Amino acid sequence: MAIGPLVRRYRSPETVRVTQTSHSAGQVPDTVTAAPGPAATPGEAAVTSAVPGVGVDLSVGVGVVPGAVSGVAPDLGPRPRPRPGARVRPHRAWAVAVVTFVTLVGAAAFASLPGLLIDPLHTEFGWSRGTIGFAVSVNLALYGLTAPFAAALMDRFGIRRVVACALVTIALGAGLTVYMTQVWQLVLCWGVLVGLGSGSMALAFAATVTNRWFVARRGLVTGILTAGGAAGQLVFLPVLSWITEHHGWRPAAALVACAALAVVPFVWFLLRDHPADVGLAAYGAAEFTPKPAPVAGAAGRALRALRDAARTGPFWLLAGTFAICGASTNGLVKTHFVPAAHDHGMPVTAAASLLAVIGVFDIAGTVASGWFTDRISPRRLLAIYYGLRGLSLMFLPILLADSVHPPMVLFIVFYGLDWVATVPPTIALCREYYGENSAIVFGWVLASHQIGAALVAYLGGVARDAFGSYDVVWYSSGALCAVAALMSLVIRRRPGAAVPALAVTG
């Protein structure tokens, strides 16, 4: 017969091994004692029955969290409930998520500036829009190509070190831009330095934090962290546009450098690399997971992950759809919306404010997308997002005017909700197919996102110089989004993959 509750609470932080002896009916032991067992390692104790007789060893519990028993143990009775009125401390993972969010908000300043620089640089230096667009395209391409290597570097050196170095690099590049007088200096400072720094803490940063610190609520947390960039855009775009219009572009670039440096202390003192660093299991995890040893050869691991993923069809479908995502957001709207609206007579501050409003609704749309990703097939979500985005772009050329009117506001709200809503389902599909390498594989998918953005950032400027307007760019991007919607539906579910639940608890 089963012996009732053996242990209710452990006060010692030592690992405990539970041993139970079975007896015939009526031979219920009167006492249970704790004593070192013959197989116990230092710091362990075995709980054994005091009744003599032939027993069956049911020992359990190896590799447990300090102060807890792991494995499938015999019934230990109900867990003690918190005292009425007792405060329940939130899991440390949420604090890490907050620091990550603040970091992404501060770093978003650099992403808000390129679209505001095109006209001032064209006016001051006489550089063509295509030339300025080339510098922006180098930035966007390096942003993407650096991401998979950064994810591997985070496994090797830790999240905190990589992100802190990335922020310093962004600050250096933005600060040196103030002193540039030649095109090659723009490409070096804004294209190379800011591109490398931003790529090292791109969305792969959010994916790595989510994978390490969360098991439950991953979709929701991914959406919240992704929205950090949109929140930063909301904060910095109006400020940078006002500074650019009233004081020139150099103070705006200096503000970007200061914003990146201001976030470094938060990262260094508050961010932690792994739950095991503070003796915790990941949020929602059933058991404690020790911190893995640093993985040497970050570059080799990133390339091996690419090689293995490139042999699968879903990788190319995800990379293709995400390239179109980048082309229709960072490359197109974020880079060329302000100058396109200015072509129609709209003030730069008004156009920049519309982009900031996109950031407002981007936050809501991305968080909602994370919530939907936990419940609805990511493939269907992607098809819906890309289809609606393409439809909205087809209407944009007839909406641009010298002032803000209700149809334009409707476009801004709609486009904002759809802006980076594609990120949570894309990360979920990478996690479904590529497991522990999902953050690195997503880094490569993100590289395609930024390559698409870089191409359109450059070609959009060339088209404007050649045709005198951006209309052909809007229509072409809308058609590409329709193709991405069809590609999303082609992605098949991996055999044995869990189906998103209609309700999630915990």
Nearest to 302 by CA among 418, 476, 153: 153
Q: What's the pLDDT score for residue 497? A: 55
Residues 6+ apart with CB under 8 A from 424: 219, 222, 223, 226, 366, 369, 370, 372, 373, 378
Nearest to 170 by CA among 98, 69, 257, 70: 257
Give me the helices (H) in 91-217, please. 92-112, 114-125, 129-157, 159-177, 183-186, 194-199, 203-213
Residues 6+ apart with CB under 8 A from 368: 223, 417, 421
Instruction: Kindly state the helix (H) or strand (E) to which residue 386 belongs, with its residue range.
Output: helix 378-399
What gap in Å lies between CA 231 and CA 356, rounded to an integer? 9
**Within the chain, how many helices (H) and strands (E) appear?**
18, 3
Token pair of 292, please? 């893995």
What gap in Å lies between CA 34 and CA 17, rounded to an integer? 10
160 - beta bridge partners?
Answer: none
What gap in Å lies between CA 259 and CA 109, rounded to an integer? 7
412 exposure class (CB count in 10 Å sphere: 0-12, 13-18, 19+): buried
User: How long is the chain?
Assistant: 506
Residue type, 311: R
Q: What's the pLDDT score for residue 99? A: 85
Q: What's the pLDDT score for residue 32? A: 40
Q: What's the pLDDT score for residue 498? A: 54
Q: Alpha carbon 305 to chain centroid distance?
A: 19
Q: CA–CA distance from 204 to each of 149, 162, 230 (Å)?
A: 10, 12, 16
Torsions phi, psi of 47, nearest 5? Answer: -95, 120
Secondary structure of residue 226 in the 3-state scheme = helix
Q: What's the pLDDT score for residue 105? A: 78
Q: What's the pLDDT score for residue 45? A: 40
pTM of the model: 0.62
Nearest to 229 by CA among 329, 99, 359: 359
Give me the tens of pLDDT residue by residue for the chain, a chain 506 residues long: 444 443 333 333 333 333 343 444 444 444 444 444 444 444 344 443 333 444 434 333 333 444 443 344 444 444 455 565 556 677 888 888 888 888 887 776 676 677 778 888 888 888 888 888 888 888 878 877 887 787 778 878 888 888 889 889 988 988 898 899 898 998 998 889 888 888 787 666 777 888 888 888 887 888 788 777 766 766 777 788 888 888 888 998 888 888 888 888 888 888 888 888 777 888 888 778 787 776 667 678 888 889 999 999 999 999 999 999 999 988 898 888 988 998 898 988 888 888 878 877 888 888 899 889 888 899 999 999 999 999 999 999 999 988 888 999 999 998 888 887 898 999 999 988 998 888 889 888 988 988 898 899 889 988 988 888 899 999 999 999 999 999 999 998 776 555 554 433 33
